[in-house]
Structure 1
């Protein structure tokens, strides 16, 4: 195998090949002599004797050979793929960005493999020291590159260095400071005089600087690439920078592990020799809220009001009282704009419970999007906002995106992969791990491309995050990775379905070994809900006792969800409580029973339980505040009512009780007020199918009209459930439509 250093240099050079380098290559080929009335030679085949650029055509051909989807790549295919990459480089600026576009399916070509592009993109997105370990996960590419490097001979490294020298060479007329004093590459902001400092969102110096000094900037001037590790001079800076102000999308603030270095700093800060503010910071970080409250009360009027409001917000944030934290962070921002305040507000909005959840997320996304534009691309602050914005977009309810979920997920992946190029594993291990975790969650939700490939990518990112968040080093985050891995196995479309679900259950149970009810009640309850949903999806083995086995699975699901309800309370965790009520409704609606009279009676009781749980969920899931969740539960309620047995007229059913089918139809129609075809096509099709089922069963009124309604709804659903895109649903609905049309033919004959 080639040395790790030479592999890293090759991958780095390949990623940095620029649009100008490609242009020079193409111009050189166009100027080359060739017979009259013939096309100029292919630029990729003409030796490029421009100093520093001689390796550009071979590297581009190398890319063409290694991302081509063909199992046996011929010369023509290699050139076609490499030529397309050249076109992308002219558009995107560099090979790295072009390969990223291919790996994320923003660009597609029939001869280019997404997986192979993804392998290159991963290698180009990490620090130099991580390139060789990354390539080890892509054995075929590693072997090919090692062989290619050997074939190039001993002069390869010099040629790669020559390209870097060409890239860094002076740009004539641009690498000097202009007469107005604006540095190269820095444009004055709108409405700002040339030579004035850039407009930034940042902390203000506590003492005014001398007139000759540069004002403090939050926008870094460093070039893109893995950033240097932050340096904290004092214990106070360490605790503020790594615990209280270092907010993340995926973490639970009360469960973060305190490192030995942080513990030592906290011990010094809380000593009697420290000031009141320092001791208050230590108390908040240690989650000693009684002591923190006493110190915070004594600080009123003694320190900067922005800093005091931020610390008060941190106190409530650490206790997971996010609505109260949000109020204090807004006060802090009112005193002074700062990146910390904006990040804190966005993080609290994503977790707040009071008011409209959709509105909270919209505000957070708008705030982070505005903040992103205030920083230079490639700085650590910019990367931090990228990760926060992507994570917030992924967490946001469906109603926030207005039916554009696929576009949102793709944008989140772009932001996260950009952040990953800045956060190195060695310099920012926590952020590096979290960005990988968020990328895993994004790929699990990505609707584009091959579903199994997306799940596989998610698992790779979870494996990468596990290199930092091991069970020994960070048990809480290791448990979170196990939970995400469980979701990945749930969604894996390949392999044996029962085996995949069993693996998911194993992952959730491993996470529960760390997240106990006593120490982490909220996470424990979420894992119980995850387990409950997994048990509901576990198919029976298919043997003689399959019915009993399926019933046991559903009973386990009910037990898990009931355990979660022991933690949620309607006052403190209303939304989780409502979600669990909905899940319990699903479980009871699916509970299998015998087919005899006693079994049918039990079936009705189970459906009534399901209806009761759905109605309880709707007490919290209102259309005004949670439209998507409301529509989902309304659809579930309609399904349970639709399956309710209809008693004959001579039964003792109260005369004033609505036929459950009519009530089911009303529920489905209400759900469609939110589940429109344009905004939510799949949910719309599902509810259209349910309406078709309900009208097909309805015997009240004109039977012909009911069957005509049923056929129309099934036909609506088939407009979305095409055979190519949704084969299983298409087959099911097509069969029901055929049955209904036959029933309609007979009903019309009888009429």
Structure 2
């Protein structure tokens, strides 16, 4: 008997090819879905960024209501589940808008700032320290600003203490190594807060803490790199030294104030920054006047009056009536002291 090999069964041999084909098809479909989701996500993010740029331009123009409308429209594009960072940052930007509104609408400043604080606080429901530390402490910086302005609006000292706490929280993350600009900016604001606290409580220690914060800020804000920021901190320093003189009565404080104001005037000119120029000229006039009470009365009064007159070149009665009257009062006081 001849033994023949059995015919190979065709079906079992074809199954692997069928399964492989189905597997490839599933992979292709899954890849298409994932890729499609990615494309849609990128389109959404692009749309969000476009709306944020539009809102930012409206804020720059002072159209805060328009900016808020644009920010509110973002919420129709995203959910907090799928886009937690963008959802939270959108609330943060709303908080910044309300904060800026408080500066232009001073009558309702307190209300705007409370809206700002609510928006900042709400953003932290989605922006957590563990997942988004940079943005989390950026919100804390914003809360510090809002509470500092709220103190200026309603005079509640607890708002000042809260501002200081938030600034210190932000500095716990924004070291000079992590982000030098944020580090310097927060320290400048923190210096302002400690100055206000020191003057309220007649506390020299607070003023000295303010001094340390300003000096930290100047580690970054150097004249050759960040000239405008440098000048702003120098003006703050000058005012701080004058305030410290009220408590310590040391001539060196006045001399340091004059040096700081002159540093600011190396940046602020009447052509480039007229309002800042006039403000600092008035401040340095005050410093020369205080020095006249200690020594060289006539010559230092003359220097004070010369600085006040420089301020009046900008603070005219028609454009800046309140500031004009203040400088005129300072001139009268200086002459009266002779």
TM-score range, shorter chain: 0.7 to 0.9
Whole-Å Cα distance in 1 between the matches of residues 212 and 153 of structure 2? Answer: 31
| Cα deviation digits, residues 386-425 of structure 1 (max 9, x gap) | xxxxxxxxxxxxxxxxxxxxxxxxxxxxxxxxxxxxxxx9
Q: 1:718 to 1:431 in 2, by over 3 A?
A: farther
CA separation in 1, counterparts of 2:229 and 2:255?
22
Structure 1, unmatched stretches of 5+, are 1-233, 239-259, 267-424
Deviation at 1:706, TM superposition (A): 3.0
Matching residue within 179, 186, 193 for 1:573:
179
Whether the 8 Å CA contact 1:471–1:478 is kept in 2: the answer is yes
- In the TM superposition, residue 439 of structure 1 has moved relative to its aligned partner by 2.2
Aligned partners of 2:228 and 2:248: how far apart in 1? 36
Confirm or deny that 1:739 pairs with 2:329: yes
The partner residue of 1:431 within 29, 38, 46 is 46
2:189 matched residue in structure 1: 583
Shift of the alpha carbon at 1:541? 7.8
Which residue is equivalent to 2:5? none
| CA shift in 2, pair 1:747/1:583, >3 Å | closer
Task: Determine helix, strand or coil for the equivalent of 1:633.
Answer: helix
Q: Is the 8 A contact 1:631 1:674 kept in 2?
A: yes
In 2: Cα distance, 1:674 partner to 1:742 partner: 29
Q: Contact 2:194 / 2:209 at 8 angstroms: preserved in 1?
A: yes
- On the 8 A contact 1:668/1:690 being kept in 2, the answer is yes
Once the two structures are superposed, the pairs formed by residues 42-57 of structure 1 within 5 Å of their partners are none
CA distance in 2, matches of 1:638, 1:627: 16
1:268-297 alpha-carbon deviations (Å, 9 max, x no partner): xxxxxxxxxxxxxxxxxxxxxxxxxxxxxx
Higher helix share: 2
Q: CA deviation at 1:740?
A: 2.3
The whole-number CA distance in structure 2 between the counterparts of 1:426 and 1:609 is 47
Write the distance in 2 (CA, Å) between the matches of 1:535 and 1:576: 18
* Counterpart residue number, 1:173: none
Match 2:294 to one of 695, 700, 720: 700
Within 5 Å, give how 1:85-164 maps onto structure 2.
Answer: none
CA distance in 2, matches of 1:741, 1:583: 31
Q: Tell me what 1:186 maps to.
A: none
Picking from 491, 504, 507, the partner of 2:100 is 491
Shift of 1:591: 0.9
- 1:664 is aligned to 257
Map Cα deviations across residues 678-735 of structure 1 (whole Å, 9 max, x no partner).
Answer: 222333233223223322332233333333333333343344345665x5xx41x333
- Say if 1:704 and 1:747, in contact at 8 Å, map to a contact too: no
1:516 to 105, 122, 128: 128
SS at match of 1:514: coil
User: 1:665 offset after TM fit, Å?
Assistant: 1.2
Instruction: State whether residues 458 and 488 of structure 1, in contact with CA within 8 Å, keep that contact through their aligned partners in structure 2.
Output: yes
In 1, are the aligned partners of 2:315 and 2:324 still within 8 Å (CA)? Answer: no
CA deviation digits over 1:240-267, x for unaligned, max 9?
Answer: xxxxxxxxxxxxxxxxxxxx8359779x
Which secondary structure state, in structure 1, belongs to the residue aligned with residue 173 of structure 2?
A: coil
| CA offset digits 1:17-52 (Å, max 9, x no partner) | xxxxxxxxxxxxxxxxxxxxxxxxxxxxxxxxxxxx
1:647 is displaced (CA, Å) by: 6.3
TM-score by length of 2: 0.79
**Residue 677 (structure 1) aligned with residue 270 (structure 2):** yes
Given candidates 52, 55, 60, the residue that maps to 1:440 is: 55
Q: Would you say the 8 A contact 1:526–1:564 is kept in 2?
A: yes
Per the alignment, residue 229 of structure 2 pairs with 629
SS, match of residue 538 in structure 1: helix
CA distance in structure 2 between the partners assigned to 1:484 and 1:471 by the alignment: 15
Aligned partners of 1:707 and 1:740 also within 8 Å: no
- Give the SS at the match of 1:664: helix
TM-score, with structure 1 as normaliser: 0.38
Q: Secondary structure at the match of 1:496?
A: helix
Q: Is the 8 A contact 1:528 1:563 kept in 2?
A: yes
Question: Distance in 2 between the 1:496 and 1:511 partners?
Answer: 23
Cα RMSD over matched residues? 3.2
1:529 maps to what in 2?
141
Matched-pair contact (CA < 8 Å) for 1:551–1:592:
no
Q: Structure 1 486/686 Cα, relative in aligned 2: closer, same or farther at 3 Å?
A: farther
Summarize the Cα distance change of 1:480–1:720 in structure 2 as closer, same or farther, 3 Å threshold: farther
Query: 1:262, 1:721 → 2: CA distance?
Result: 62
Say whether residues 1:564 and 2:174 are aligned partners: no
**Aligned partners of 2:317 and 2:324 also within 8 Å:** no
8 Å contact kept, 2:99–2:146: yes
Distance 1:668 1:744, change over 3 A: closer
C-alpha displacement at 1:473, in angstroms? 4.2
Establish whether residue 615 from structure 1 lines up as the match of residue 194 from structure 2.
Answer: no
Asked if 1 retains the 8 angstrom alpha-carbon contact of 2:137 and 2:170, the reply is: yes
Deviations 1:360-411 (A, max 9, x none): xxxxxxxxxxxxxxxxxxxxxxxxxxxxxxxxxxxxxxxxxxxxxxxxxxxx
* 1:690 matches 2:250: no
**8 A contact 1:536–1:553 mirrored in 2:** yes
Mark the runs of 5 or more structure 2 residues left unpaired by the alignment: 1-27
Indicate if the aligned counterparts of 1:538 and 1:553 stay in contact, CA closer than 8 A.
yes
